[in-house]
Structure 1
C-alpha cells in the first residue's frame, strides 16, 4: 500500500527565537517593566534580518518617543476596545464558541508539555504568549503561528486600517513566516468577509470579559 506523504517539518532559523521573544515583549501591555523590554529589543533587533528588523526598529523608535501613559492608553484603545484588533488568535477561527474553549485547552496542554506554565490571568492564545512560547520551542511555535496564520494576517490588516503603531510588530511577525500561499490567502479573505463564528457559549473559564456575552442581554 502506498503511504500518504507526510508534511515537511517547519524550518526554523537560528535567529527565529530572538525575533519571536522580542516581538512578544513589544506586544505585551506597556506597564512599568516596558522600558526594560524596549531596551532589550533595541539591543537584539539590529542582528535580525532586514525584513524582520526594520519594522521593529520603527516601532521601538515610536515607543521610545511616546509618553508611557499615552502608549498604554493607545494599547488599551487598540487591543481591548476594538474587537477587530483582537490579539487572541483562536478567536478568529472559532469566535465565541465551544470550539474555542477546546482550542485554548489544547494550547495550554502544548505549553505544559514544553514546561511553560501560564498565570491564571493569561490566555494561551494571546499573540504575545504564543510568541513567547515560540521563542522557547521554535519548531512547535512555528507550527502554532502557521496554524493561526489567517487570524494573524487579519489582525495585521486591522491594525494597518487603524493606523496603529503595532502594525509594524505584526509585519515583523509575518516576516518570520513563509509567504502566504493561495489557500492561505483564501482563508484570510474568507475570514475578512464572514468574520468569526458567533455562538457565544461554553467559554466562561477561558474568555476575557470583553468577549463574553452580557448576562443582562444589553450591549457592553
Structure 2
C-alpha cells in the first residue's frame, strides 16, 4: 500500500518581488532615510533657517542678516545649502526698506505665493477651518503651543514645528502640503524672486513630486483652490500672481512674526 501523501500546508501568499519592491520604495519616499546625528543637525538647521528667512524682514531680522548668513555657511555641502547661500547673498546686499517692499509684494499681495498653506488645499471653504483646527491640535499633542501669535498653517510656523519635532511627525504637515509648497516655489520663480531659493531649499528635504503632484499643481494654477462662496466668478488666471479678481479672497492679515532667537541653532520653543 502506498503511503498517504503528506498534507499540503497552506501558507499566506507571499507578495511578488515587484510588488514588494514597490512597497518598500513607497515607504522610503514617504520618510527620509535614517539620519546620522550630523545629518539630523544639519536638517534641523535648514528648517530653522527657512523659518526665519520667510518671516517679515523687520528691524530685528535685518539686523541679524550677517549672523544668519554665517549660519548658512556652516551647513555641509548640499543642494539645500547652495540654495540658502544664494538667498543669503541677496539678503545681505539689500537695503532694509527694499527688503520690506519685496516681501510685501511677494507674500501679501500675490495669492499664488501666500504663506498660508491650507488655502492651497482647501481654499476659502469650511474645510479650511477644520484643517487649521487639526493642525493646531497636532501642535498641542506634541507639547508645542504657538500662543496664537500666528495662524498654525503659516509656513514659518509649520517649519519651526518640523525643526523641533523631527522628520517623522514633525514634517508630516510639510509633506501633506507638498503641492502648495510647489505652487509657491513656482510662483516665486516666475516672479524672479530670490525667495525662490528658500522654497527650493525646503523642497530638497521633501519627497520628489510625482506626476500626480505636478498635474495637481497645474490644475491649481489654472483653476485656483476650492471655493464654496456663491455669486462669485470662477477662479482663473486673471493676472500675474492672482487666482481671481480682487475681492474674491482676502488672505488673513499677518500677525507679528516669530521673535528672532539670539542664534538660529539655539531656538527651543515655539513662536511667541
> What is the CA–CA distance in structure 2 between the aligned matches of 1:156 and 1:97, rounded to whole Å?
24
TM-score by length of structure 1 reads 0.84
| Correspondent of 1:163 among 188, 192, 213 | 192
Q: Of Structure 1 and Structure 2, which has the larger fraction of its residues in helix?
A: 1
| Correspondent of 1:80 among 90, 104, 108 | 108
Cα distance change of structure 1 residues 211 and 35 upon mapping to structure 2, 3 Å threshold: closer
Count of residue correspondences: 204
Residue 124 of structure 2: aligned partner: 96
Shift of 1:189: 2.2
Residue 234 of structure 2: aligned partner: none
Residue 11 of structure 1: aligned partner: 32
Residue 218 of structure 1: aligned partner: none
Cα distance change of structure 1 residues 37 and 126 upon mapping to structure 2, 3 Å threshold: farther
Shift of 1:50: 2.2
Residue 26 of structure 1: aligned partner: 53
| Correspondent of 2:141 among 86, 90, 113 | 113
Q: Tell me the alpha carbon deviations over residues 122-149 of structure 1, each in whole angstroms, 9 at most, x when there is no partner.
A: 0111111111111001222322111100
Residue 217 of structure 1: aligned partner: none
List gaps (5 residues or longer) in structure 1. Answer: 202-208, 213-220
> Could you tell which deviates more after superposition, 64-73 or 42-51?
42-51
Q: Which is greater in Rg?
A: 2
Cα distance change of structure 1 residues 99 and 37 upon mapping to structure 2, 3 Å threshold: farther
Q: What are the residue-to-residue correspondences of 1:1-220 with 2, within 5 Å?
A: 8=27, 10-11=31-32, 13=35, 14=40, 15-35=42-62, 37-46=64-73, 47-138=75-166, 139-200=168-229, 210-211=250-251
Residue 258 of structure 2: aligned partner: none
> What is the CA–CA distance in structure 2 between the aligned matches of 1:188 and 1:40, rounded to whole Å?
35
> What is the CA–CA distance in structure 1 between the aligned matches of 2:87 and 2:71, rounded to whole Å?
14
Q: Tell me the alpha carbon deviations over residues 148-189 of structure 1, each in whole angstroms, 9 at most, x when there is no partner.
A: 000000010011111111111111111111221222222222
- Matched position secondary structure for 1:140: coil
> What is the CA–CA distance in structure 1 between the aligned matches of 2:63 and 2:164, rounded to whole Å?
20
TM-score by length of structure 2 reads 0.68
